[in-house]
Chain A
Amino acid sequence: MKAIICISVLFFATLALAAEDYCYKDVVEACKTTTKKSVTALNCTAKYGAIDNLQSKLQRYVNHHFIRSFEYLLMATHFANYEKNREGFEKLFRGFSDNKWHEAIELIKYITKRGGEMNFNELSEGIRDEDKEEQDFELLELSSVAKALDIEKKLALEAFQIHEDASRKMNGFHDPEVSSHIEHEFVHKQRDIVRKLAGYTTDLSELLNGPDASLSLYLFDEYLQKQ
């Protein structure tokens, strides 16, 4: 029995050791004059921590940003036609579209920083289901802000989900670098956007309950232009 434990301890010890410096070992091997040099076979990637297990959710998050970016672009487009003529609302949604776009690019760069790769096919079931229904992005002022609030909350909760996965202490999932990145680059910004949009719905629903909704919307649009 003792012998078995001893052997297995030794076995795992050597395995752990090998895991620590396998890049160096590969390089030593590759640099030997007798063996055939093969650069691609080197185990020298940027991967460490739990990136392999978190990667697919990060890829999804990128794709969801792209989809939302295009949706916001359509919402902005609608407000910019001559009938709607709401420059402020156009600016609001165009800004969201631009932000989602740039955040998606930055997140691709981040995934590759951690030794991962991008997969443009990764989508959540929820997003796939959305596609089955007819989508409407030609919305009234209040409805558009309401839709944006829902979208932003979904994205915020998705960030929580990635954070939760990265915070699980079990092997292969604990990755404080990922959770910290999510916090700094997404979670706090999303808090502010959600709060802003919730405030807009409060204002708009009160204003539209007044005697002159048209004038209210005109003034609110003017206000949005200056934001």
Chain B
Amino acid sequence: MKLICVAILFVSAIGLTSAELQCSQKELKIPKGWIDMVNPCVESMRNQIEEELKASMRYMAMGAYFSQDTINRPGFAEMFFKSASEEREHAIKLIHYLLMRGELTNNVSKLIKRNLIPSTTSWANGVSALKDALELETSVTKKIRKVIQKCEDNEKFNDYHLVDYLTGEFLEEQYKGQREIAGQISTLEKLMEKHGALGEWLFDKKLQGAE
């Protein structure tokens, strides 16, 4: 009886191995010389991906706040939700850049952690949210500049292409975006000087129309 059992087990084990799917493929030997990015540049780029997503979630909190019925600023809400998605797009652009340079072949699972919960979730009014947004953009700009510095001032390798990309694409957008928000703060503050609620209400309708 025992023998039969063992025999059955043996046969079923064979059955299992022969039904094994060929899920993985053989290791490849692709030349690696073309992959020329070095640390700490790579590491700072990887960190910047999460920074962009953190900024995204902070905008998300602003969108959620101004969507509430008791706040009722749909123009502000729409603008901040849009900014949230734009920040996410930045993160994806950085990912694509690293992939283009042959990076991100490992340790991808830890690229985005789950600590992106926004800390601030309410604002006194539209102006204070816009001021927060401007500060957020300023801090993102500073961080991008730090990445550029790490990738440029490297004895081993000056990453001209990445530095050009970050300067031309990212800093360009940062500076234009900052100017836009600063202008909005100025307009809204002037509107609200004598006409608090009316000023913000008008500004919100203007933002809605801008869509």
Contacts and interface: CB of A to CB of B under 8 A. Distances in A.
Q: Do the two chains bind?
A: yes
A135 to B, nearest CB: 6
Task: Label chain B's interface by main secondary structure.
Answer: loop
**A-B pairs with the 7 shortest C-beta distances?**
A118-B64, A112-B67, A213-B22, A46-B69, A208-B21, A137-B109, A70-B112
B114 to A, nearest CB: 6
Contacts, number: 109
Interface residues of B, number: 42
B81 A105 contact: yes
Given A112-B67, A143-B23, 11 more contacts: A70-B116, A73-B112, A78-B104, A105-B85, A108-B60, A109-B67, A118-B121, A120-B60, A120-B118, A140-B24, A208-B22
Nearest to A67: B114
B75 interface: no
Interface of B: 19, 21-25, 28, 30, 53, 57, 60-61, 63-65, 67-70, 77, 81, 84-85, 88, 92, 95-96, 99, 102-106, 108-109, 111-112, 114, 116-118, 121
23 contacts: A45-B69, A67-B114, A73-B112, A74-B112, A80-B96, A81-B105, A81-B108, A82-B102, A83-B28, A105-B85, A108-B63, A113-B69, A117-B65, A118-B61, A118-B65, A118-B67, A120-B57, A120-B64, A141-B23, A142-B23, A208-B22, A213-B21, A217-B25
Interface string A83-119: 1000000000000000001100100110011011111
Contacts of B88: 101
A82 B68 CA distance: 45
Interface of A: 45-46, 66-67, 70, 73-74, 77-78, 80-83, 101-102, 105, 108-109, 112-113, 115-121, 131, 134-138, 140-143, 205, 208-209, 213-214, 217
Given A101-B88, A112-B68, A83 B114 contact: no
Nearest to B70: A45
B109 A136 contact: yes
Contacts of A118: 61, 64-65, 67, 121
Nearest to B26: A214
A214 B21 CA distance: 12
A70 B3 CA distance: 52
B111 A77 contact: yes
